[in-house]
């Protein structure tokens, strides 16, 4: 990291940090309740206070560095403390920090909308903002239902989703997901989607290609649409990669078939690109690989380069027009969040889009994807690895108890946690999903850093499967 590190001020002495870190952990555990965490785990699993970030590296108070191989929960695209994004936010900060977006407007949100619509699949014409991914999903669900109501089909009230999908954790978003770990507890509170088998290629027969499998699995969707189209508002999917659902992947052919069938049956298609958007799958948006335009596209996570919470739902002129009428007809979409379209977040997003425009990001990512593919390939032969799979900048390694039968490790064994702990000690932040170790690094990662990341993952897998 920067040379200013050498000129430590007196209070920056390493011993001081060690104490400061310990104090911070104590203070934290006295008042915080962390996300996605059984807090009792922290009796034995140390919390990691981070003092600063730079590029792909996070640094703790002892000066120990961690390679952020999961992009801080899939949000970071161009590294921590990216000078260009920092500058964009700083400039905006002196201009306007926030203003309500109802009745008022501002330059960053207008420019961001214009640019997103130019980059997005053709036919998307309107941007509706929220401030996190789950809220964007809620917006898309409500908008789709409300569209059908406005055009005189109030009987369309249900959603079709895929098995093993994830769309966030507010009640509506949780309901249309299918990861039981997050969902089962709240089942009595949730609306009931119609769940279709996933095209997830992990389950393909030997000798069957991923495309053949995904295409074959479409039969269940077709049947479901035939049966339920009259009462269904929309089908919601994560294009190409079910990220929270253990990084399971499917072929673009499924999306092409789905688009055609949704049109034929008069059902909307919601593409949740919250995790896969902005280059993760190799193309700017995953939908591009199937050449389709969804009726709603949800974006968040990488939208601000991983800096600030912001989300947006892109939709078509046809949807927009079904809401556009005299006030007294009460057809307006009266949904809002306090921080909708926050100018600082929009400035971070604009700086992020500038980087895509100025650098050959997707070209460099193709090189990185090839490197990750080559370096992780040997793990395919590991006695406890069933599969190494990849879509663009996402690589996942499935650890199993028995390679031949693909018998999974029981979840209680927490094998992934062992990988996490080993990697942390070696200065790499990996955060396996159950038995699946994956890489989703920031795009500014160097070749040597990719090497380190995969080497440490290999060690971790050896230890965890021992
Ligand atoms: C993360 C995620 C969400 C939820 O976004 P939050 O900002 O965490 O609410 C929704 N859908 C997908 C596919 C995601 O990966």
Average pLDDT, the chain: 96
- SS3 of residue 199 by DSSP: coil
CA of 167 to the centre of ligand 1 (A): 6
Measured distance CA(62)–CA(442) in Å, rounded? 24
Ligand 1 centroid to Cα of residue 444, in Å, is 23
Q: Separation of 134 CA from ligand 1 center, angstroms?
A: 6
The answer to whether residues 161 and 174 touch, using CB atoms and an 8 Å cutoff, is no
Q: Residue 429 domain-assigned?
A: yes
Structure tokens at 232: 């269904």
Structural domain tally of the chain?
2
CA 132 / ligand 1 centre spacing (Å): 8
The reply to whether 232 and 155 lie within a common domain is yes
pLDDT at 416: 97
| Under-70 pLDDT residues of the chain | 1-18
Q: Are both 241 and 333 inside the same structural domain?
A: yes
Angle at 29 between CA 304 and CA 24, to 5 degrees: 75
| 326 and 380 part of one domain | no
Q: Does residue 244 have its Cβ closer than 6 Å to ligand 1?
A: yes
275 ligand 1 Cβ < 6 A: yes
Q: 47 CA distance to ligand 1 centroid (A)?
A: 23
The reply to whether ligand 1 has any atom less than 6 angstroms from the CB of 17 is no
For 381-434, what is each residue's pLDDT tens digit? 999 999 999 999 999 999 999 999 999 999 999 999 999 999 999 999 999 999
Residue nearest to atom 12 of ligand 1 (CA): 167
> pLDDT at position 2, please?
40
Q: Is the domain of 61 the same as that of 132?
A: no
Cα 68 to Cα 73: distance, rounded to the nearest angstrom: 9
On whether residue 25 sits in a domain, the answer given is: no
Whether residues 128 and 77 fall in one domain:
no
**CB atoms inside a 10 Å sphere around CB 366:** 14
Domain-embedded: residue 335: yes
Same domain, yes or no: 324 and 400: no
How far, in Å, CA of 254 to CA of 216, rounded? 9
Q: What is the longest distance spanned by two Cα atoms in the chain?
A: 71
Closest-lying ligand 1 atom to the alpha carbon of residue 301? 7
Backbone angles phi, psi at 115, to 5 degrees: -75, -40
Give the integer Cα–Cα distance in Å for 277 and 273. Answer: 5
The verdict on residue 265 lying in a domain is yes
For residue 27, being part of any structural domain is answered with: no
388 closest CA partner among 401, 397, 399, 400: 397
Mutate to test the pocket of ligand 1, among 174, 182, 301 (most ligand atoms within 8 A of CB): 301
**Strand-pair category, 296-299 with 65-68:** unpaired
Q: Is 131 in the pocket of ligand 1 (CB under 6 A)?
A: no
Q: What's the alpha-carbon Rg for the chain, to the nearest Å?
A: 23
Mutate to test the pocket of ligand 1, among 177, 249, 300, 391 (most ligand atoms within 8 A of CB): 300
CA 154 to chain centroid:
32
Tell me: do 106 and 72 sit in the same domain. Answer: no
Could you say which DSSP state residue 122 is in?
T
CATH number of the domain within which 201 lies: 3.40.640.10
Structural domain range at position 322:
85-358
Cα–Cα distance measured from residue 348 to residue 311, given in angstroms and rounded to the nearest whole number: 12
User: Do both 389 and 407 map to the same domain?
Assistant: yes
- Are 168 and 237 in a shared domain? yes
Ligand 1 contact via 240 beta carbon (within 6 Å): no
Q: Which of 301, 335, 358 delimits the end of a domain?
A: 358
pLDDT tens digits for range 85-94: 999 999 999 9
Ligand 1: distance of its center to the CA of 177 in Å? 10
Same-domain pairing of 375 and 319: no
Q: Tell me if 133 CB under 6 Å of ligand 1.
A: yes
Please give the distance, rounded to the nearest whole angstrom, from the Cα atom of residue 73 to the centre of ligand 1. Answer: 10
Give the three-class secondary structure for 108: helix
In the structure encoding, which two tokens stand for residue 85, read together?
């994004």
CATH of the domain at 406: 3.90.1150.10
- Same domain as 115, residue 256: yes
Q: Are residues 369 and 336 part of one domain?
A: no
DSSP string, 234-293: EEEE-SSEETTTTTEE--THHHHHHHHHHHHHT-EEEEE-TTTTTTTTSSSSGGGGGT--
Single residue among 336, 358, 380 that ends a domain in this structure: 358
Q: How far is the CA of 274 from the centre of ligand 1 (A)?
A: 6
């Amino acid at each position: 990291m920067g040379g200013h590190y050498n000129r430590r001020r007196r209070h920056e002495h390493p011993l001081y940090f060690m104490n400061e870190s310990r104090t911070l952990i104590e203070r934290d555990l006295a008042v915080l309740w962390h996300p996605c965490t059984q807090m009792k785990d922290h009796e034995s699993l140390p919390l990691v206070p981070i003092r600063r970030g730079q590029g792909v590296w996070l640094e703790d108070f002892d000066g120990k560095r961690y390679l952020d191989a999961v992009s801080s929960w899939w949000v970071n695209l161009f590294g921590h403390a990216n000078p260009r994004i920092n500058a964009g936010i700083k400039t905006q900060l002196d201009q306007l920090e926030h203003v309500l977006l109802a009745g008022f407007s501002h330059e960053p949100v207008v420019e961001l909308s214009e640019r997103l619509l130019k980059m997005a699949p053709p036919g998307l014409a309107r941007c509706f903002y929220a401030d996190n991914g789950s809220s964007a999903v809620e917006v898309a669900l409500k908008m789709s239902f409300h569209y059908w109501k406005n055009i005189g089909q109030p009987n369309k009230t249900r959603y079709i989703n895929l098995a093993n999908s994830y769309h966030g954790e507010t009640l509506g978003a949780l309901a249309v997901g299918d990861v039981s770990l997050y969902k089962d507890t709240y089942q009595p509170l949730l609306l009931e989607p119609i769940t279709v088998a996933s095209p997830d290629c992990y389950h393909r027969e030997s000798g069957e290609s991923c495309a053949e499998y995904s295409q074959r699995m479409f039969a269940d969707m077709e049947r479901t649409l035939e049966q339920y189209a009259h009462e269904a508002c929309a089908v919601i999917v994560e294009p190409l990669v079910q990220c929270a659902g253990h990084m399971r992947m499917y072929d673009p052919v499924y999306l092409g078939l789905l688009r055609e069938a949704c049109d034929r049956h008069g059902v909307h298609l919601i593409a949740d690109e919250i995790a896969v958007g902005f280059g993760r799958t190799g193309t700017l948006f995953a939908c591009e690989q199937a050449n389709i335009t969804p009726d709603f596209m949800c974006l968040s996570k990488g939208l601000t380069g991983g800096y600030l919470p912001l989300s947006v739902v892109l939709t078509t002129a046809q949807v927009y027009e079904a809401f556009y009428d005299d006030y007294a007809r009460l057809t307006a979409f009266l949904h809002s969040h306090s921080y909708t379209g926050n100018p600082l977040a929009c400035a971070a997003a604009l700086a992020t889009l500038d980087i895509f425009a100025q650098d050959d990001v997707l070209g460099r990512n193709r090189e990185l994807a090839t490197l990750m593919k080559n370096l992780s390939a040997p793990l395919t032969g590991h006695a406890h690895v069933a599969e190494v799979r990849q879509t663009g900048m996402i690589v996942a390694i499935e650890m199993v108890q028995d390679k031949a039968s693909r018998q999974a490790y029981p979840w209680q064994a927490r094998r992934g946690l062992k990988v996490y702990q080993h990697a942390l000690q070696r200065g790499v932040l990996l955060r396996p999903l159950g038995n699946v170790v994956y890489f989703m690094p920031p795009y500014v990662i160097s070749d040597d850093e990719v090497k380190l990341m995969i080497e440490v993952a290999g060690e971790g897998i050896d230890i965890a499967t021992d």
